[in-house]
Structure 1
Amino acid sequence: MIVLRTCLAALLSLILTIDVQAQSAGSGTVLDTLFAKLQAATDPSAIRSLEAAIWEQWVMVPDMSQRAMMMRGIAEMQQQEFKTSIDTFTRLIDVAPDLPEAWNKRATVHWLMGNFTASLADICETVKREPRHFGAYSGLGMIRAEMGENARAIAAFELARKWNPHIAGIDGEINRLRALDGDGSGGADPLGCGRPST
């Protein structure tokens, strides 16, 4: 769990320090290509670059006013102005409810504040909109594990690993939780998000 927490802390650091550039045309195609390359990558520096590029694509917002809100919310999160950051991401969600990263960023702030219930709800909205979001699945797994929901934690970590097989410590955490949970499963709703996992 400690190794995975270290990895998740590194992911959070990457989220907070990403340099957002202009929106590329056809970001869906860009993401498809990045994910395909990430699956095949073996060089650690290439893996880090691909992960960063995927996060950058998630953070990019084509609409300039929405992009400004995204950047403001991230800056507020960096400055630990959590309540203000939640308000900013909520406004962004209100105007762009289909933007996965707005939900994920608000989930991250809720997690930083220790509000697991609100974080879980926002993570579920994130993965509904971006089913490949390994960062959201990692956070979901960590929260479910903290809550003692081992089967759901395993399901979330397995999806994180499916989309990014390079997350340090995740195999060990899945094995640890399986040893605790036996053959338990999450049933028809393995993530606890009100729908089957993908």
Structure 2
Amino acid sequence: MRPCSFQIPEGCSELHHEVELGVVISEKCSAVPEGAAMQHVAGYALALDMTARDFQVDTPDSGEWNEAKAKGHPWTMAKCFDTACPVSAFVPRDRIPDTSGVRLHCSVNGQTRQDGATADMHFSVPFLISYISRYITLEPGDLVLTGTPAGVGPVRAGDVIEATMADQSGGQLTKITFGVEKSSQS
């Protein structure tokens, strides 16, 4: 069986993978206290937040790929393009009773690139929901990405990316596999 595919956007020469825990919102919420945040979670998904590094520049000809990051400028074009965020099947909330006990793994062509635990995240899921909902109303079905473990790296056309999410005991919760292809616009 051929894996699903991800297309490198037209004009991108430096594309990186970032495996992340995605949190699926269950109901409309705004200004949620951190202690009540988990009541607004329907479940989870495994996400690959793909980043077109050469789109993170202030101007197309400025050169340095992390220029927008260094200046604190938005990364909209680097993160928001067709096929930019492959997402796994939904994992119900009751299958992950403690979000600090999830392991995330990403390999490219069978080589481990990322292997981390949500316990090492800079911000907890309740904090993220509370913080975001202070400024943006979250709606049912919204997907909140939580950050990526060390090991972010490049992918090229022809690569196969596999990502998994496991519980504290190592039991696999979900998995996604896809091939990397050049844009069909090329």
TM-score range relative to shorter protein = under 0.3
Give the TM-score normalised by structure 2: 0.25
Give the TM-score normalised by structure 1: 0.24
Quick check: which one's strand share is greater?
2
Quick check: which one's helix share is greater?
1
If you compute each CA radius of gyration, which structure gives the higher value, 1 or 2? Answer: 2
